[in-house]
Amino acid sequence: MMDIKVLGGCCGNCETVMKLVADKAEQLGISISLEKVTDMAVIMGYGVMSTPGVVIDGKVVHAGGIPKPAAVEAWLKG
């Protein structure tokens, strides 16, 4: 199971990224644990200065803006 965190506040973009990741994982039949992280100290600990950010299994794979669906698919297929 992949551990995925979406880093960001309460912005609409963060919610969009959460849904995009969840939907793509379901389409691919990949089991994930999805968590939204809003604590700025934790977000800064990952070195993310622009949200939303995406962390997969402890590694930052994206920061700032909504990722393309093809990128999310590539991350999940890893």
Strands 53-56, 2-7: pairing is antiparallel
Residue 3 within any structural domain of the chain: no
What number is the average pLDDT over the span 26-53? 96
Domain count of the fold of the chain: 1
Residue 41 within any structural domain of the chain: yes
6-29 pLDDT tens trace: 999 877 999 999 999 999 999 999
Residue 5 within any structural domain of the chain: no
Please give the C-alpha separations between residue 10 and each of 27, 52, 71, 73, in angstroms, as whole numbers: 26, 10, 23, 24
pLDDT at 78: 87
Smallest CA-to-CA distance from 70 within 34, 27, 36, 32 is with: 27
pLDDT, averaged across the chain: 96
Domain residue limits at 23:
13-63
Residue 6 within any structural domain of the chain: no
pLDDT at 65: 93
Residue 46 within any structural domain of the chain: yes
What 3-state class would DSSP assign to 31?
A: coil
